Structure 1
Amino acid sequence: MKRPATVAIGIICGIVCAGAVFAYLQSVKGEAESARAEALDRYGGEQVEVCVATRDIASGEKLDASNTTAKLWLADLVPSDAVRSVRDVYGEQVGTPIFEGEVVTSKRFSQGERQIDVPAGLSVLSIPVKDVQAIGGSIAPGQHVDVYATGAAETELLASDVAVVSSSNDSEAGLGGGSISWVALAVEPRSVQELIAASQKTELYLVLPGDEQGGASDEA
């Protein structure tokens, strides 16, 4: 008589355990759905997975697990040509620089589409900047800017009346759309070393001067 009773107790315990596990899974699912709903409510849109650079990637480098990862991004902010699957671009060589935190896009793999004309007597270099440092990302080729370096102690004018040659969002420049991550400038050769060093140690800001401001900058 004891054996059937033991079996029955075991079955009952199994049912209770299964019920507890099911209840736990439902609770976890509910919490996940709640967290997702909260995120959508807080950030205002659906999220999608995209490929993002985990460090600065130079032109000619190949993409792999050491420099890219998958991250969730607000769908409304994802570029139309964004790379969605990290696996799709592993081993691919980029044609233009990609900076840390930037969403990888298909145009980064384009090579030979555009040649940069270097003005006589000048050098062209690219500097890392964010939207807030480049007039909201609206900097466009052909404009002339003043370059300021700002650190913890001071803000310094590094170059005046510098021509913008290209940028990471050329297709959207002037429209205020998309995120900018770098700008190519035509500068005096003697300024190249100073600008590169400043870009590594400080934040660089691009300023569009008015006529009077431009004159003041030239005097400075």
Structure 2
Amino acid sequence: MNFRRTTTTAPDRPDLMVLPVSPVGAPASGPPGPAAGFPLLHADTGIHLGSDRAGSPVTLAVLGPRAIRIGVLGESLFGRLLACRLVAVGAAVTAVTRGPSLWTPLRAACGARLTVAEDPGSWPSCPGAAPGSGPGPQALVTDLRRPPGRAVGEEPWTTVVHVVRRAPARSVHWQRPDAVLVLGAPYADAVTPVLGSDAGRLTASLEQGEIALFRPGGVAALRPDIAPAETALLRPG
């Protein structure tokens, strides 16, 4: 599958290439007290993206007991892939798109877990919750030019994915993303204003068929794994 600065003061944003990864649910130091038990902690849920150059699987955290913002630079088709996999891990997905007809096969397969609309309205219609409880996590996938504003998707168990060829300037979503996916070397110029020149150079070095995932702790160059059944759902007709 082929995927194919007038100076202003930029707001602070995390460096997705160098931030350390914080352990989730790390045990407290020292011996447990007499009342210590075995607490159950919610952890982020990841979806499989593909394999890196060493052949190791690469996953992306998409759901958790926090708000998650993901930026995708590239074709809108990848938004449908992420929506498909979000549904698979228990999310109720709302797709806000300029091309609703492109979502027809996927909507038919996902049923009530996928809603397609042309504007976000008052999303989410209900609070997000952990998988298996009530309506579950709430995810918004949009390929509109501008993503939703600051107040949208800030609650626990909500995820917002914005898929666009070039990130809009001064967008809150793109100032502090949890992860950025860049769908190939042609988008090197698009990622530079978002993550800096090092990210642009790395993206430019991607081989044909590779994409880049930038997130706290580092960056991965990978080849997406897409099943034939998924391909049939992503391309209408």
Check whether TM > 0.5: no
Q: Which has the higher contact order (CA 8 A, sep 6+)?
A: 2
Higher gyration radius (CA) = 1
Taking structure 1 as the reference length, the TM-score comes to: 0.20
- Structure-2-length-normalised TM-score: 0.19
- Greater helix content: 1
